[in-house]
C-alpha cells in the first residue's frame, strides 16, 4: 500500500521534503529558507492541479458520450475549443528514471 512507497525501492530518505532544507545552509547569503518554506506547497499544488485536470478532462469527455444526435456537434465543438494544455517552453529533456524506481511505482 502507498504508505510503503517511502521505504522501498532502495531509496534512502525519499520522505525528505523541501522543508528539511531549512537550517542546512547557515551563514550563506541565501540560506534556502524561502525555498524551504514554500517549495512543498508548490509541489502539492502542482499535483493537486494535475489531479484536477484529469478530473476536468474526464468530465468533459464523458459528458460528450452517449448523448443525442442533436448535441453531438455541440459537444465536439466544445471539446475542440477547450483551452489546450500548457506545453513545456523548453525542448524536451529526457530525464531517465532509474529502473528500480520506475518498477516500484507501477
Residue 1: CB partners within 8 Å, gap ≥ 6?
Answer: none
Measured distance CA(55)–CA(63) in Å, rounded: 12
Q: How far is CA 32 from CA 16, 20, 24, 68, in A?
A: 15, 10, 8, 57
Q: How far is the CB of 89 from other proteins (least distance, A)?
A: 7
Task: Provide the minimum distance between the beta carbon of 103 and other proteins in the complex, in angstroms, as a whole number.
Answer: 9
Residue 42 beta carbon to other proteins: minimum distance, rounded to whole angstroms: 5
Amino acid at each position: 500500500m502507498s504508505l510503503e512507497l517511502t521505504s522501498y525501492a532502495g531509496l534512502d530518505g525519499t520522505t525528505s521534503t523541501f522543508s528539511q532544507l531549512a537550517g542546512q545552509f547557515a551563514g550563506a547569503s541565501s540560506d534556502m529558507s524561502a525555498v524551504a518554506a514554500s517549495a512543498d506547497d508548490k509541489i502539492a499544488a502542482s499535483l493537486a492541479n494535475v489531479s484536477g485536470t484529469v478530473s476536468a478532462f474526464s468530465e468533459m469527455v464523458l459528458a460528450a458520450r452517449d448523448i443525442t444526435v442533436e448535441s453531438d456537434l455541440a459537444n465536439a465543438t466544445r471539446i475542440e475549443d477547450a483551452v489546450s494544455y500548457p506545453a513545456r517552453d523548453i525542448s524536451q529533456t529526457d530525464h531517465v528514471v532509474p529502473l528500480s524506481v520506475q518498477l516500484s511505482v507501477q
